[in-house]
Amino acid sequence: MKLLTLNFLTCARKACKATNAAFPLHPKDAELEIVEVELSPLFVRNILPRVEWEALRTLCQDLGLPQLPATAPEPGELFTPNPSDGVEGEGIEEVGEEGEPTQTLKDLHHVLLETTIREGKLVCGSCGHEYAVKEGIANFLLPSHLV
């Protein structure tokens, strides 16, 4: 499972879902795998505002990955300025066509979409329940006494 996926997951138990402690889930005994995904610069740019940056930083730290900067990259850091445009200080929304994706964008793509947990567990910080990840698929079915 991608690290991006974890950004949209919390504990399946009703009592935990509304608590801050349940998000993000914490990987345990995680075995990582890099799965190549075709780079879509616009996808990365569009998804970035929806990523809880603090949670992603914690996650990377938990997994022993290179540390992410303290704050999420600004949209302007994701593309090189388009030479044909030349207007400075304009957001990329105003630019007809984006420039080339920067290394920052490529790194984000790698962390969010290509870095995956193949085997391991995801632990709820609120109730301590462990969800298994097997062959890259996380299983959130609860035993009946926890539903």
Contact footprint for other proteins (CB under 8 A) = 1-2, 4-5, 8-14, 17-18, 23, 37-38, 40, 42-43, 45-47, 49-50, 113, 131, 135-142, 144, 147
Taking CA atoms, 7 is separated from 21, 34, 38, in Å, by 14, 18, 20
Q: Which is nearer to other proteins, 13 or 26 (CB)?
A: 13
Q: Which is nearer to other proteins, 34 or 141 (CB)?
A: 141
Query: Taking a C-beta distance cutoff of 8 angstroms, is the pair 13, 124 a contact?
Result: yes
Question: At CA 55, angle to CA 51 and CA 61, rounded to 5?
Answer: 125
CB of residue 60 to other proteins, shortest distance in Å: 18
Q: Which is nearer to other proteins, 46 or 80 (CB)?
A: 46
Neighbour-count burial of 15, counting CB atoms closer than 10 A to its CB (0-12 exposed, 13-18 middle, 19+ buried): exposed
CB of residue 64 to other proteins, shortest distance in Å: 22
CB of residue 141 to other proteins, shortest distance in Å: 6
In three-state secondary structure terms, 82 is coil
CB of residue 114 to other proteins, shortest distance in Å: 10
Q: Which is nearer to other proteins, 10 or 30 (CB)?
A: 10
CB of residue 86 to other proteins, shortest distance in Å: 26
Q: Which is nearer to other proteins, 38 or 88 (CB)?
A: 38
Cα 105 to its chain centre, rounded Å, is 13
Of 66, 70, 78, which Cα lies nearest the Cα of 104? 78
